[in-house]
């Protein structure tokens, strides 16, 4: 199999962003005054979580669906370990001098199993949908119009992510109107953030394609999500690099 200079570094950065946005981001809910809109309330992690989808776009566009799928599974495993570690640390009895701080630890790291499960399921499903849509659109467009698949995959992936997370985490606890309002707000914010970052995605993709001499097309790829294989398809090929 072909080796790459930057794939492992991108994998590490991807997992780092994912963990930080899921562990640090939910610790604070912020309200910002937006001109012409008014106050907008959101979890702080919304500012950073979409970066993981940008990584997904870059990985799929340059290295192919199978290699991005491997990154998604690595991120899922990291989230599972972080959830286990948080559960154990929160429930360990505090030392006497630490008892006054225990409530803060619980508030920040003591997510309910339902919310943890919602976060992991939504991430896994949304990320794989994002990668699948981008890979398919690349075939349909013959590798042209990168912006269409960056935007198209983002809209689909974030829709699945936001819809699953808030439904699994809060259905029955919130009213349908509250679920719809918060889900729609988060979806619009995350999607808009990724769309704004499209020029950056273009530059990174162009750099990686030139450096790695790779522009992967997923012809004949097995799109099952339940695999860690990175073996290239016999029908896959390297196309002329985009400028």
Q: What is the pLDDT of residues 215-227, one digit of tens each?
A: 999 999 999 999 9
Identify the DSSP state of 173. T
Question: What CATH number belongs to 7-212?
Answer: 1.10.1760
Return the axis-axis angle of helices 176-196 and 50-63, rounded to nearest 10°.
50
Per-residue pLDDT tens for 163-173?
999 899 889 88
Span 85-105, average pLDDT: 93
> How much is the pLDDT for 211?
97
Find the range with the poorest average confidence among 37-41, 66-70, 131-135, 220-224.
37-41
CB of 13 closer than 8 Å to CB of 153: no
According to the model, what pLDDT value does residue 232 have? 60
What is the C-alpha to C-alpha distance for residues 134 and 211, in angstroms, rounded to an integer? 21
Mean pLDDT to the nearest integer, 71-87: 95
Domain ranges of the chain: 7-212
Would you say 83 and 120 are in contact if contact means Cβ atoms under 8 Å apart?
yes
**What number is the average pLDDT over the span 48-54?**
89
Whether 161 has a pLDDT exceeding 80, the answer reads yes
The mean pLDDT value of the chain amounts to 89
**Interatomic CA distance for residues 227 and 117, integer angstroms:** 21
pTM above 0.85, yes or no: yes
Instruction: Give the pLDDT confidence of 5-33 residue by residue, as tens digits.
Output: 999 999 999 999 999 988 887 767 788 88
How high is the pLDDT of residue 56?
Answer: 95
Q: Which residues, listed in sequence order, are joined to residue 30 by a DSSP beta bridge?
A: 42
pLDDT of amino acid 8: 95
* Strand positions, DSSP E, the chain: 29-34, 38-43
- pLDDT value at 162 more than 60: yes
Residue the block writes with tokens 């829709």: 159
Number of H helices, E strands in the chain: 8, 2
Local confidence band at 103 (pLDDT 50, 70, 90 cut-offs): very high
Q: CB of 215 within 8 A of CB of 240?
A: yes
Question: Which residues are within 8 A (CB) of 222 and not within 5 positions of it... i.e. 6 or more apart?
Answer: 66, 229, 233
pLDDT at residue 112, rounded to an integer: 80
- Are the C-beta atoms of residues 191 and 153 closer than 8 Å to each other? no
Exposed/middle/buried for residue 87 (C-beta within 10 Å: 0-12, 13-18, 19+): middle
């Amino acid at each position: 199999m072909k080796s790459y200079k930057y794939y492992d570094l991108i994998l590490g950065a991807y997992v780092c962003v994912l963990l930080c946005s899921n562990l640090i981001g939910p610790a604070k809910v912020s309200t910002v005054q937006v001109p012409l809109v008014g106050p907008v309330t959101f979890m702080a992690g919304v500012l950073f979580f979409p970066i993981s989808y940008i990584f997904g776009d870059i990985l799929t566009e340059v290295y192919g669906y199978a290699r991005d799928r491997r990154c998604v599974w690595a991120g899922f495993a990291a989230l599972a370990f972080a959830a286990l570690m948080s559960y154990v640390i929160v429930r360990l009895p505090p030392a006497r001098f630490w008892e006054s701080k225990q409530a803060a630890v619980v508030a920040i790291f003591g997510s309910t199993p339902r919310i943890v499960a919602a976060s992991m399921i939504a991430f896994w499903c949304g990320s794989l949908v994002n990668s699948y849509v981008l890979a398919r659109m690349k075939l349909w467009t013959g590798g042209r119009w990168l912006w269409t698949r960056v935007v198209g995959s983002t809209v689909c992936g974030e829709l699945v992510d936001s819809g699953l997370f808030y439904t699994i985490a809060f259905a029955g606890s919130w009213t349908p109107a509250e679920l719809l309002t918060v889900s729609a707000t988060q979806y619009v914010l995350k999607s808009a953030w990724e769309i704004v970052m499209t020029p950056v995605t273009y530059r990174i993709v162009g750099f990686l394609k030139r450096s790695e001499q790779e522009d992967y097309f997923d012809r004949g790829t097995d799109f099952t999500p339940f695999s860690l294989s990175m073996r290239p398809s016999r029908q896959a090929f390297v196309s002329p690099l985009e400028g």
